[in-house]
Amino acid sequence: MRRKLTPPQLAKLWGIGVDKVIAWIKVGELRAIDASKAKAQRPRYLIDLADIAEFEARRSVQPPPPPASRRKRLASNSITEFFSLIFLLLSFGIFALGSFVGCDEQGGGLKAATADDDPPSVRTDSQRAKLKAAGLLD
């Protein structure tokens, strides 16, 4: 036969009040049987050890999950920095709104196509070599 505890025994074991154990039984959190001889009598609860173990497992405290890493907030001047970078790129001809078709005179980066670009026959040999290396010229 399985061993059973009364609410006062369980309360003493856990160091809590008997009223709390009875309240858990009445709301259905802790299973118990009523061992009183008649329904009209005061209930005499008996709690099975397996039910106590199940109750403890349900009520056990789990460690909280690690907090999700928060995205780092950008500095308030990041928009200004972004547009400053775009301005620099545009002013140096690195970033242009169009296709790149030629090289600048100093042999630096590519330059954007404009209406007054030199025709292909006016390009220097070094410009043609750079365009071939970039895959922009046959």
Structure confidence by residue, pLDDT tens digits, 59-88: 888 888 888 887 776 556 677 777 777 777
More confident residue, 99 or 80: 80
Average pLDDT over residues 27-50: 90
Amino acid at 63: P
CA-based torsion, 115, 119, 120, 122: positive or negative: negative
Look up tokens 């030629």; give the residue.
Answer: 102
Its pTM stands at 0.45
**120 pLDDT above the threshold of 60:** no
d(C-alpha 10, C-alpha 53), whole Å = 12
